[in-house]
Structure 1
Amino acid sequence: MVPITDPLSFAEVLRRHRHAARLTLEQLSEASGVSARSLSNMERGRSRGPQHRTVTALADALALDESARKQLIELARDGRLRDHWTRPTGLCALPRSVGDFTGRAAELAWTNDLVRAGASPGAAGVGLITGPAGLGKTTFAVRAAHALRSEFPDGVFFLDLFGMSPHPVAAGEALALLLRALGVADHEIPNDVPERASLYRSLLEGKRVLVVLDNAASEEQIRPLLPSGSHGRVLITSRRLLAGLEGVRRLSLGPLPVAEATELLAGIVGDRSASDGEPALTQLAQLCGGLPLALRIIGNRLVSRPGWSAAELVARLANEERRLEQLSAGDLKIAKAFGMSYEQLAVSARRVFRRLALVPGRDFDAALAAVAGGISAEDAWDALDELVDLGLLQDGASGRYRFHDLVRLFARDRLQAEDTATERDALIETVTSWLLRMATTAGRWFEPAYGRPDRPDPDLAHLSSPEEADHWLRVNVDNWLGALRHMASIGRFAAVLDCAESMNWFSDQWMHAPHWYEVFTLGAEAADVLGDPARQAKQLNMLAWVHLVPREDLETTLRYTAQAIDLATRSGATVQIALAHHHAGGALRRLGRIDEAIAAETQAAQIHKANGDMDRYCHCLGALGTCLRDAGRHTEALEQYLALLALLNDDRSGMTPSVAAFLRPIVLARVGECLGSLGHRAEAITKLTEAIGLMEQAQLPVPQARSLETLAALLADEGRTGESRHAYARAAEVYEAIDDAEASSRCRDLAAASPQPPKAG
């Protein structure tokens, strides 16, 4: 037997072996059982890759040795591979790309990077695109595949894995579909899944192919479908995060920005966008929450109903109760898209999902989810993970979760459909009561006499320090404020008043928060209904503070203090009488009525001292110093501040340490201001610098910004221009942080206007 060593085709090698064996086609056909016609097609190159069993039959009939036998089998295999890549099948064809595709420039750049990035040996470049329902993951992947088509001369294939259906495509079935698309005949497809995967990978080896695996259900479904070579690329889309997939690059698709959403909507409605107007289309885009599916539904509705205007549809969508109904056009329904994800959830996760719709604020944590779901914190974490995995919740920083606006409406719809009215009312009571008790407990951490509770409420989240209480109140403000409103609306006035009173001292920590007027108004109304004039006076005093400090509405401050004094006098609440005089003194001072202000502050100080309330007494002493300063009596003001500073530094004064720590940097800054006004600039700069450092530590941005501005002016007067410019710039930053844009701009201008210090030499 003559061995064949030249790199010839299967046809040529077979013909040489037949001639060497001195057999005709008919004789080889009779010996092998392969038809003469098939043999003729093989030798003429029409059949370049006969099946393995056919080739082994020919090798047996030709009595080939092991080397020649192996060569013939491998040539047939190579021929089959070439057949697969040249045989058109029309299977797994890439869908068309929509003509009005809009935006996603950064995301498309990500797919370009994926294609061009070098893959590690033995691993295909795999991109995983995840996101909730309605974000256009499939549309995006198809668009990207069309844009990249020229990079893949060996083919682009698309397969829908039906990941959200009750019966996703099994890995074996998916492999069979892909193998058929690659030209493998049904009878050649192995029965075993690993063998199918092996054949699939061998067919793709060395080929520039892009495979789009759409709507994946799980890691187990995907893993057998990933090629092993470094030439091909795979794009996977899934609502699930598929966190178990290793070695993939991930892209989380989000809603379209308003501008791109409006552009997409304008592209869908076409020429009529001019008559509808951009403002109305922008409103529609916002109501759709940037979800491409919702935008397409709304656009299709407008196109199919020429008599409708975008403004009319805006009015319809503005009604939250019916918004999901309006987001429907033919077989496109936003609720149906969300529903497919909802059906994937375990029963317990469904319950948590729909009940979270009753949370008053925009976001929440696992502790609140546990309360809403009536489950343990551990089970709540599991449910939240499942909801995030399916895109029904978005997770953010520090363990906070939130709904997309339309998903929240879907959750509310499911709650209405699956929970009874009695169950819903009980749940609202549970959630709002818990939130209000948490807020009240957190607020009391800032009361001077408050200590760690001996028996904390076991139903509440644990707070172990003022810092934790501060954090909880700030991040949950929408939730506890919503609970406060609800409790007021159903007549739970005692709980409302308790919560409002607990915010008395905490409000100093967050004095420029916008909600204090509402909190203390609800508190005052609750006290009025409960017939408690002393507590009502306390809430009116807090409203006087709101208009004195954050709002700077001085006449309104005086109206509230007058009401508080009347109520407090009738009820004998001397503390509230003193507080009202103190707030009135602050308003009168700012109105330039200094003598009246001094009289009011003096009266307040006397009452507090008689009551043994050193904390409030010292507040009034500081206010008296400020009155003297504003009157231009700087020497007297300095003496007043220095005496107060001595009290603050005296451990035997009876002051609460936390209150002393709060007042100390403020009074120290006032000392510096007075020294500066009296011409002692060097000493003033020292005092102000020390005060600013203490304010930084105590997180007192409002007095810190003012003190920085005063320091900057003194430094400029001393000729220390570089330090002055730095202080003005720092003051501008702090003013900006507390949303005082006017003061921030003023300080930036002063920093820029300060002369540059002369260069040395």
Structure 2
Amino acid sequence: MDQAPIHEPEPTAGGDTLPAAETAPRNATRNAVSGATVSGPVVQAGSVTGGIHLHEYRTQGPPHASASPVPRQLIPPPAHFTDRVADLVALDALRSAGGGSGAPLVVVTGAAGVGKTALAVTWLHHGVGDYPDGQLYVDLRGHADDGDPVPPDAVLGRFLRGFGVDRLPAELAEMAALWRTVTAGLRVAVLLDNALSAAQVLPLVPASPGSLVVVTSRNRLPGLGVHGARFHHLDVLPPAATVELLGRRLGEERAAREEEAVASIARLCAGLPLAVCVAAARIAARPRQSLTAFVAAMSRDGDRLASLRAGRDLAVQTVLDGAYGALAVDVAAGYRQLGLLPVTDFGAGIAAAACDLPSAAARELVDELVDVSLLEELGPDRYRFHDLIRLHAAQRAAAEDTEAVRATTVRRALDWYLWTATEARALLAPAHVRLRRDYVRIPEEEPPFDSPAGALAWLDAERLHLMAAVHTAIGFGFDDTAWQIVDSMQPLWVRLRPAEMWVEAHRLGLAAADRAGRPTAVMQMLTTGGGGLCNAGLFDEAAQWFGRALSLGEETGDRRAQSQALHGLGQAHQFGGRPESAAAYYRHALALREAIGYTRGAALSRLSLGQLALDAGSPREAVDLLTRARADLLAVPDPYDAARALAFLGVAHATGPEADIALSEWELGQALSELDACGAVGWQARVLEMQGVNAEERGDYGRARDCYRQSLARYGPISPRDAHRLGERLRGLDER
């Protein structure tokens, strides 16, 4: 596709916008947004100087480094780390061995529960001073039994945001290139925990040879050897070290009183540190119980998780069963319920929802599970199960709770995500129509944000969990919940444009709405999903979705939905290179919207017609359309789209024989200010480009270059196509 702009979606029956941007070539019109397709790390141009300071990526650390703290994401080392002296020495040797131009890559492999993470974390904390520019950690979930591994693009987004980069590319290759740019010249340590494959790891490796990457995995990962990785296999603790670890956890005095029992417990734990820690926590909770009695309890045979056997007959299964049996009835119930959550880490809010508890009681529950080492505390109000313990909790739920009880637990958790995302959407798009919501439980606490910026940040941070919730809802047959979660995420689609996720979510949501027999929801999924398809450059498929939405709107007599579908068809045809057809659809949508009194929709159709008029070289017609659109959008109020209309007015007033450059510059400057207040980065970039075009045509090449560079800085992380266009404009200035 030669031309594909950044798309700003126009509202659908549920609320937000479908893509709208201009595609004319530079010499065909005063429109500043002709597009081209490119792939490659355009923003890596280290020689660029001026207002955007891209040279800071390479020479002075990441952008905005002065405003962002150095990331310190490593989890704390275990308090009772024991032995492993030879392993620590081996890791030091691996880090120092060999050469190479990239960051050293050390892979720690071993069985489940053997202590890979504890070893890696302890080792990195010993050498933390060698990596002053940041320490990063992520659990890649490569060995989780109930979900997919975390994809590299999600990790890169988290890492880049940790370095202050808040405008991210949509594609993995672009994100990896930006990550290498940001880390070039830095000394950072990266711990990639629970990796599944080399493909999951390689995009996450920083560029600097002064950095270090440590990977833990149950797999051997031979594919990393091709890239210079050095491997260390971690075995179970030797018997003496197992006894020492258990004694340190129990306390020297108690261990000394029953040395034989301690040795027996250590033997039954089979050298697995996880088993030792859980056993010690259970023993500590029963200070008057003899260790001999505990040995007898551990020795009783029973069902075991096959994956928890480390080549021994008795291992973690027996320990976990014993720890679970020692829980109070209400805590055991909470343990089972939390094991059913669709996410790997969580806060007290979703715990309260899943367990149907008040917030205070939910916090007490998770604290009790943390105390007995069945739950890990990651930070303030953030917890996670070890994946093996989570599996045990889910198995206990399957064994002890009915299917109906388990389904209700999951539904309450899904409702927490649905309710919270819906609250976020209400803050970000208060003027949009809201579709039905079906809850079995509405949370009692306030949402974890209190501003539009906070709401968008929450949607961004929880995007993978929200998608997991959609998949879980479908798996349990909660189709209404599935499409409602997709609908609630709409500000994420519009503001941050995760193209692949946008399309995937709406394919799932559309199928769920169809199964649920909800015509209004089907039309919503078709129109908002059509926006996602446009954003992904799939214009013909988008037109099919909008066409189906139009047919459904006609069948149901829903004139508003018909107008949304018509407008979407206009945009699919506009971006597909068929402006005459697009204009016809926009005019049809405008007439229908005026007839039903849909003021905001009519204003948006005028805005799109104004863009087409600019493309066609008719600035006077564009001014009339855009002036009316701006006034109506301000009255709604809709400040975001009103600012977009003002920006196009600035383009129109700089075009043709009646051009008014002073008015144009004021309008563009005011639009930029309004869009900055809305957090609309893509449109800030477009307005800066428009200002650059004005300056270039006046012969003010210095100002044009400055505007283009500022625009490129905003476009680079979010739109390779537009970044390429800005690069071409800058090269054109240099040639002139």
Partner Cα distance (2:642, 2:533) in 1: 25
Deviation at 1:674, TM superposition (A): 2.3
Match of residue 640, structure 2, among 642, 662, 673: 662
Match of residue 459, structure 1, among 437, 443, 453: 443
Q: Tell me what 1:545 maps to.
A: 531
When Rg is computed on C-alpha atoms for both structures, the one with the higher figure is 1
The verdict on how the C-alpha distance between 1:556 and 1:344 changes in structure 2, with shifts beyond 3 A counting, is same
Partner Cα distance (1:695, 1:567) in 2: 35
The verdict on how the C-alpha distance between 1:357 and 1:95 changes in structure 2, with shifts beyond 3 A counting, is closer
The answer as to whether partners of 1:708 and 1:727 remain within 8 angstroms in 2 is yes
Deviation at 1:736, TM superposition (A): 3.5
Matched residue SS, 1:552: coil
The verdict on how the C-alpha distance between 1:374 and 1:337 changes in structure 2, with shifts beyond 3 A counting, is same
The verdict on how the C-alpha distance between 1:373 and 1:576 changes in structure 2, with shifts beyond 3 A counting, is closer
Deviation at 1:613, TM superposition (A): 0.6
Aligned runs of 1:602-621 on 2, under 5 Å? 602-621=587-606
Deviation at 1:503, TM superposition (A): 5.2
What is the alpha-carbon root mean square deviation over aligned residues? 5.0
Q: Tell me what 1:427 maps to.
A: 409
Amino acid corresponding to residue 525 of structure 2 in structure 1: Q
Aligned runs of 1:252-267 on 2, under 5 Å? 255=193
Q: Tell me what 2:431 maps to.
A: 448
Match of residue 701, structure 1, among 681, 703, 719: 681
Counting aligned pairs with the same residue, the percent is 24
Deviation at 1:375, TM superposition (A): 3.0
Alignment partner of 1:561 is 2:546: yes
Amino acid corresponding to residue 448 of structure 1 in structure 2: A
Q: Tell me what 1:378 maps to.
A: 360
Alignment partner of 1:601 is 2:586: yes
The answer as to whether partners of 1:133 and 1:341 remain within 8 angstroms in 2 is no
The answer as to whether partners of 2:191 and 2:214 remain within 8 angstroms in 1 is no
The verdict on how the C-alpha distance between 1:370 and 1:96 changes in structure 2, with shifts beyond 3 A counting, is closer
The answer as to whether partners of 1:135 and 1:254 remain within 8 angstroms in 2 is no
Q: Which structure: greater helix fraction?
A: 1
Partner Cα distance (1:340, 1:142) in 2: 31
Partner Cα distance (1:414, 1:697) in 2: 50
Matched residue SS, 1:103: helix
The verdict on how the C-alpha distance between 1:328 and 1:402 changes in structure 2, with shifts beyond 3 A counting, is same
Amino acid corresponding to residue 278 of structure 1 in structure 2: P
Deviation at 1:559, TM superposition (A): 1.1
Task: Name the stretch that deviates more: 679-688 or 663-672.
Answer: 679-688
The answer as to whether partners of 1:262 and 1:281 remain within 8 angstroms in 2 is no
Task: Name the stretch that deviates more: 567-576 or 254-263.
Answer: 254-263
Aligned runs of 1:107-146 on 2, under 5 Å? 134-135=115-116
Partner Cα distance (2:194, 2:503) in 1: 36
Alignment partner of 1:103 is 2:81: no
The verdict on how the C-alpha distance between 1:526 and 1:426 changes in structure 2, with shifts beyond 3 A counting, is closer
Partner Cα distance (1:252, 1:277) in 2: 17
The verdict on how the C-alpha distance between 1:734 and 1:362 changes in structure 2, with shifts beyond 3 A counting, is farther
Q: Tell me what 2:337 maps to.
A: 355
Deviation at 1:619, TM superposition (A): 0.6
Q: Tell me what 2:468 maps to.
A: 482
The answer as to whether partners of 2:479 and 2:516 remain within 8 angstroms in 1 is yes
Match of residue 369, structure 1, among 329, 351, 361: 351
Amino acid corresponding to residue 694 of structure 2 in structure 1: L
Q: Tell me what 1:328 maps to.
A: 310
The verdict on how the C-alpha distance between 1:294 and 1:719 changes in structure 2, with shifts beyond 3 A counting, is farther
Deviation at 1:468, TM superposition (A): 5.5
Which has the higher relative contact order, 1 or 2, with Cα contacts under 8 A spaced 6 or more apart? Answer: 2
Deviation at 1:573, TM superposition (A): 1.3
Match of residue 568, structure 2, among 573, 577, 583: 583
TM-score, length-scaled by structure 2:
0.55
Partner Cα distance (2:504, 2:680) in 1: 23
The verdict on how the C-alpha distance between 1:413 and 1:694 changes in structure 2, with shifts beyond 3 A counting, is same
Match of residue 712, structure 1, among 661, 672, 692: 692
CA deviations on 1:269-307 (whole Å, 9 max, x unpaired) are: 9xxxxxx88228899x99x9x9956899xxxxxxxxxxx
Amino acid corresponding to residue 279 of structure 1 in structure 2: G
Match of residue 624, structure 2, among 609, 618, 639: 639
The verdict on how the C-alpha distance between 1:104 and 1:461 changes in structure 2, with shifts beyond 3 A counting, is farther
Alignment partner of 1:279 is 2:223: yes
The answer as to whether partners of 2:349 and 2:359 remain within 8 angstroms in 1 is yes
Task: Name the stretch that deviates more: 366-375 or 321-330.
Answer: 321-330
Amino acid corresponding to residue 650 of structure 2 in structure 1: G
Deviation at 1:625, TM superposition (A): 0.5
Q: Tell me what 1:47 maps to.
A: none
Partner Cα distance (2:369, 2:354) in 1: 15
Deviation at 1:606, TM superposition (A): 0.6
CA deviations on 1:641-684 (whole Å, 9 max, x unpaired) are: 123223344x4xxxx21x2x121110111112223343654543
Amino acid corresponding to residue 91 of structure 2 in structure 1: G
Partner Cα distance (1:496, 1:256) in 2: 29
The verdict on how the C-alpha distance between 1:711 and 1:100 changes in structure 2, with shifts beyond 3 A counting, is same
Deviation at 1:578, TM superposition (A): 1.2
Partner Cα distance (2:573, 2:725) in 1: 26
Partner Cα distance (1:142, 1:502) in 2: 43
Match of residue 711, structure 2, among 717, 726, 731: 731
Matched residue SS, 1:98: helix
Alignment partner of 1:525 is 2:480: no
Alignment partner of 1:690 is 2:689: no
The verdict on how the C-alpha distance between 1:253 and 1:744 changes in structure 2, with shifts beyond 3 A counting, is closer
Alignment partner of 1:675 is 2:653: yes
Structure 2 portions without partners, runs of 5+: 1-81, 97-112, 127-188, 196-200, 206-211, 239-302
Deviation at 1:729, TM superposition (A): 3.1
Partner Cα distance (1:574, 1:538) in 2: 13
The answer as to whether partners of 2:308 and 2:317 remain within 8 angstroms in 1 is no
Deviation at 1:639, TM superposition (A): 2.8
The verdict on how the C-alpha distance between 1:279 and 1:353 changes in structure 2, with shifts beyond 3 A counting, is farther
CA deviations on 1:234-273 (whole Å, 9 max, x unpaired) are: xxxxxxxxxxxxxxxxx9999599698988999xx9xxxx
Partner Cα distance (1:397, 1:329) in 2: 34
The answer as to whether partners of 1:293 and 1:334 remain within 8 angstroms in 2 is no
Partner Cα distance (2:547, 2:553) in 1: 10
Deviation at 1:466, TM superposition (A): 4.9
CA deviations on 1:502-547 (whole Å, 9 max, x unpaired) are: 5567743444464333443344334434545454333322222222
The answer as to whether partners of 1:354 and 1:412 remain within 8 angstroms in 2 is yes
The answer as to whether partners of 1:362 and 1:402 remain within 8 angstroms in 2 is yes
The answer as to whether partners of 1:637 and 1:674 remain within 8 angstroms in 2 is yes
Q: Tell me what 2:19 maps to.
A: none
Amino acid corresponding to residue 568 of structure 1 in structure 2: G
Matched residue SS, 2:406: helix
Matched residue SS, 1:561: helix
CA deviations on 1:381-400 (whole Å, 9 max, x unpaired) are: 34444555676555557744
The answer as to whether partners of 1:360 and 1:478 remain within 8 angstroms in 2 is no
Match of residue 516, structure 1, among 502, 520, 523: 502
The verdict on how the C-alpha distance between 1:412 and 1:728 changes in structure 2, with shifts beyond 3 A counting, is farther
Partner Cα distance (1:105, 1:584) in 2: 62
The verdict on how the C-alpha distance between 1:324 and 1:714 changes in structure 2, with shifts beyond 3 A counting, is farther
Match of residue 383, structure 2, among 396, 401, 416: 401
Amino acid corresponding to residue 572 of structure 2 in structure 1: A
CA deviations on 1:15-49 (whole Å, 9 max, x unpaired) are: xxxxxxxxxxxxxxxxxxxxxxxxxxxxxxxxxxx
The verdict on how the C-alpha distance between 1:605 and 1:373 changes in structure 2, with shifts beyond 3 A counting, is same
Partner Cα distance (1:532, 1:139) in 2: 51
